[in-house]
A and B are shown apart, each in its own frame.
Chain A
Amino acid sequence: MGNRQLDNQADKIISLYDLPVGRSATVSSIQAEGIIRRRMLDLGLVPGTRVEALRISPAGDPKAYRIRGAVIAFRKEEAYQILINL
């Protein structure tokens, strides 16, 4: 497992939650299903979309991201379901 992760360093896949503030990445896939998935897609989180982690709530969660020009906050639970290519 460790080796494979090293091999794929170029396009490492992590969850949106793990994207450090100030960094950008592209959406690789949405893990959520049903209505939550549809809502995320509606917000413009389709594969290939650029997202930037902007800031963290002073209470530690949620985090705010820039998605197609709008600033949207997701809780940890939602952000975990969005996978990104770093």
Chain B
Amino acid sequence: MSRGSLSADLNELMQEVNRLNPGSSLKLNDSIVCTIYSRAEEITGGIVLRRGKPKFDWDKKLDDVITSRVFGFPSMLLLLAVIFWITVAGANIPSEMMATAFFWGQERLTALLHWLHAPAWVNGFFVEGIYRCLAWVVSVMLPPMAIFFPCFTLLEDMGYLPRIAFNLDNLFKKAGTHGKQSLTMSMGFGCNAAGVIACRIIESPRERLIAMLTNNFVPCNGRFPTLIALAGLLVMGMATSLSASFIVVGVVLTGIMTTLVVSWLLSKTLLKGVPSSFTLELPPYRKPQLGRIITRSIFDRTLFVLRRAVLVAAPAGAVIWLLANVHIGGVSILAHGANWLHPFGQLLGMDGYILMAFLLGLPANEIVIPILLMSYMATGTMIELDSLEALRQLFVAEHGWTWLTAVCMMLFSLLHYPCGTTLWTIFKESGSLKWTALAALIPLGIAVIVCFVLAQSARLLGWV
């Protein structure tokens, strides 16, 4: 065989191809596809027999409700609300049980270190720092995820999800993106990192990036506790949980609106382009398979996200403990930082401690409030307050919070950068440092502007 000549042979062959099919005049693809389909038709005609219609067309009846003008949107909202309710209500008890168990473990660990005559900082760094942060993230994150993801996978398995995209696509089309973004957003309610992974279902790279960059505007399970606590704080006095839930719903809707507006802006500027072609299959509804739902949601989603969160939270626990316990001139580094950030926090309607908590809460959003409590009370370890009244006492009476502080903190929590786990996921999925940086900077910019404008106008108008 003559070496080095094979590629030349191929060139010769391609010239022959050009002679045989000049200017693609054979319309080969059209012709081939048509032929294959007509053969498929013939074969099917010969072997498939239909004996009458089925008695009842479930798919049609279900779709008549789920995608109807009247019930389409309300049924979707209702379903989402029910899933939230199941998640929040169902997660409380296991979360508490896990927290108790972890706390018990912490005492044992401390006792063990004491028995070993380990220096105090070892206990502080490893137990109060790393262990406690891990315990916190796991006990707050795991139960809601272990409930939310199976619910979501159930809807996926039944074939419901494409209907959401079908119902909402027009909104996303107007924002220059794909209807499937509604699914990645729904997933984001569970966890933004999972939502970012879900963006794989969007084919066009441009639309996928937009969906990834805006996913953090839907509040995830980690931020809901913060939002709920702050909403509860706002309506204290009226003390109805109903009005608190209205506030949370309002925050969620603000997030969805922000997603659409930012998606629109991105598709007009950084990620310019026309919407890609849209084809969406609405598969028949199927009876869900429980075994598959559990394995898929627990192994592929819950544990996957948890593993990444743990990898981020452990070093974070160490850093936070160091910042809270290394003192310079009698004041912890944390407090120095908070003092330094204070003027900036004031401009945004908050204070230095809140900003510091958001900064240190980067690894996982669920630790923002615990860090804030820790720094307000100067305890050195993350703590939890058991009642809303105690929270109000600390925030309002001792640290001068107003309604504006709570609202700004809610908006900042909704809008600010995605958590470390999500950013890491964005980097893995996009493979680009630039887009990962933008995924943090764009939301941060928006959060700063929104809080600034709100705080300044509220003060100017004398509302506070």
Contacts and interface: CB of A to CB of B under 8 A. Distances in A.
Interface of A: 32, 35-36, 38-44, 46-49, 54-55, 57-62, 64, 68, 70-75, 77-78
B43 interface: no
A29 to B, nearest CB: 10
Contacts, number: 88
A44 B168 CA distance: 26
A21 to B, nearest CB: 11
B73 interface: yes
A47 B282 contact: no
B59 to A, nearest CB: 8
Interface of B: 29-30, 33-34, 37-38, 59, 63-64, 67-69, 72-73, 166-171, 173, 179, 275, 277-284
A17 to B, nearest CB: 13
A73 B170 contact: no
Contacts of B280: 62, 72-73
Interface centre among A38, A48, A58, A72 (most CB of B within 10 A): A58
A72 B69 contact: no
B170 A78 contact: no
B173 A57 contact: no
B166 A73 contact: yes
Contacts of A64: 67, 166, 282
Given A46-B37, A49-B37, A55-B67, A78 B169 contact: no
Contact of B167 (A40, A42, A46, A58): A58
Contacts of A72: 279-282
B68 A58 contact: yes
B282 A38 contact: no
Query: What are the 10 closest A-B residue pairs judged by CB atoms, nearest first?
Result: A58-B72, A59-B170, A71-B282, A41-B33, A75-B278, A73-B280, A46-B34, A36-B277, A61-B170, A58-B69
Contacts of B37: 44, 46, 49, 68
A60 B167 CA distance: 9
24 contacts: A35-B277, A36-B277, A39-B277, A41-B34, A42-B33, A44-B37, A46-B37, A47-B34, A49-B37, A55-B67, A57-B67, A57-B169, A59-B168, A59-B171, A60-B170, A62-B278, A64-B282, A71-B282, A71-B283, A73-B166, A73-B280, A73-B282, A75-B278, A77-B278
A55 B278 contact: no
B278 A74 contact: yes
B181 to A, nearest CB: 14
A69 to B, nearest CB: 10
Nearest to B72: A58
Nearest to B59: A71
A35 B29 CA distance: 11
Nearest to A81: B277
Nearest to A41: B33
B50 to A, nearest CB: 11
A58 B72 CA distance: 6
B203 to A, nearest CB: 10
Nearest to B32: A41
A74 B284 CA distance: 17
A78 B275 CA distance: 11
Contacts of B72: 57-58
Contacts of B283: 70-71
A86 to B, nearest CB: 21
A40 B29 CA distance: 12
